[in-house]
Amino acid sequence: MTRTISTFPAKTHPPLGALANAALGSIRRSVDTQSSLDEIGVVMRFERDQAIFYVGDDADYYYKVVDGLVRLSDMLADGRRQIIDFVKPSHYFGFSSQKEHLFQAEAVSDVTLVRYARRRVDTMVVERPSVARLVVDITNDSLRGLQRQLVLLGRRTAKERLVAFLLDFAKSAETDSRGFFQLPMSRRDIADYLGLTIETVSRIFSELKRDRDIELAGSHEVALRRAEELALLIE
């Protein structure tokens, strides 16, 4: 994969915060409340598979996903890849105390982000307790997610991992009238997120389909047909 620098023509930048605020209507979680951070947010768009930043890039910006899905990943020297997280709308990423980013961020689907200049965030953290609180909460939120994922990778079977993954996405995805929701990422992305191979992921999809636990419509649309039973599997 060759590294291309992402440049964005000015026209893709609506007025500060405008789009971000528009998108805030559908937001639920505590860290997602309208906050003064949005005053300094700049909206950006990235296309499917476009890199948002690379390992080693200066961590000069923090981000929030407004629409679409972002993957954060790390790669070993020999090419093995681990997806650290999929970042969903209204969630933040790229917050760091390091000078440089330690993982890569890419758009899984076409994505709309809000970008915050780190320098300005740092200033606000000092001047506004509410922003300090927000940044702490954002980071704690990530921490909690990673802890869950750590248990998943360390102690769960392939089937449990995929089921947990599907239930997690079902929770936040919009389900259509027939119960289907979108799974925008590839089988490779799923495998690299769950610490498996694409073949194993594919086989377990087939097994779940055979057992009538799920239905598939193409490879990117799923419907859970026995969410209760599936939930039992993972606790």
Can you tell me which of 16, 51, 153, 198 binds a second copy, judged by CB under 8 A? 153
Distance (Å, whole) CA 65 – CA 111: 7
CB of residue 150 to a second copy, shortest distance in Å: 6
87 to 12, 106, 113, 116, 143: CA distances (angstroms): 21, 10, 11, 16, 13
Full DSSP string of 104-143: EEEESSSEEEEEEEHHHHHHHHHH-HHHHHHHHHHHHHHH
DSSP state of 74: E
Three-state SS at 97: coil
| Cα-based torsion angle of the residue sequence 58, 63, 67, 69 in order, rounded to the nearest 10 degrees | 50
Smallest distance, a second copy to C-beta of residue 149, A: 6
Query: Of residues 158, 167, 173, 234, which one binds DNA by CB under 7 A?
Result: 158
Q: Which residues pair with 92 in a beta bridge?
A: 64
Q: How far is the CB of 143 from a second copy (least distance, A)?
A: 5
| Whole-Å CA distances, 233 to 146, 157, 158, 207 | 20, 10, 12, 14
By CB under 7 A, the residues from 164 to 203 that bind DNA are 186-188, 195-203
| Closer residue to a second copy in complex, CB, 127/229 | 127
Out of a second copy, DNA, none, which partner does residue 201 contact, by CB within 5 to 8 A per kind? DNA
The correct pick among 88, 159, 225, 226 for binding DNA (CB under 7 A) is 159
CB closer to a second copy, 216 vs 234: 234
Tell me which residue of 105, 34, 95 sits closest to 69, measured CA to CA: 105
Which of 1, 10 has the CB closer to DNA?
Answer: 1
109 or 139: CB nearest a second copy? 139
Say which amino acid occupies 63. Y
Interaction pattern, residues 97-136, with a second copy; x per rule: CB under 8 A = xx---xx---------------------xxx-x--xx-xx
C-beta of 227: minimal distance to a second copy in Å? Answer: 18
Strand, helix or coil for residue 52:
strand
Phi-psi region of 61 (alpha: psi -120 to 50; beta: other; left: phi over 0): beta
- Does 157 help bind DNA (rule: CB under 7 A)? yes
Residues 34-73 that bind a second copy (CB under 8 A): none
Chain residues that interact with a second copy, rule: CB under 8 A = 30, 74, 76-77, 80-82, 84, 95-98, 102-103, 125-127, 129, 132-133, 135-137, 139-144, 146-147, 149-151, 153-156, 192, 194-195, 235
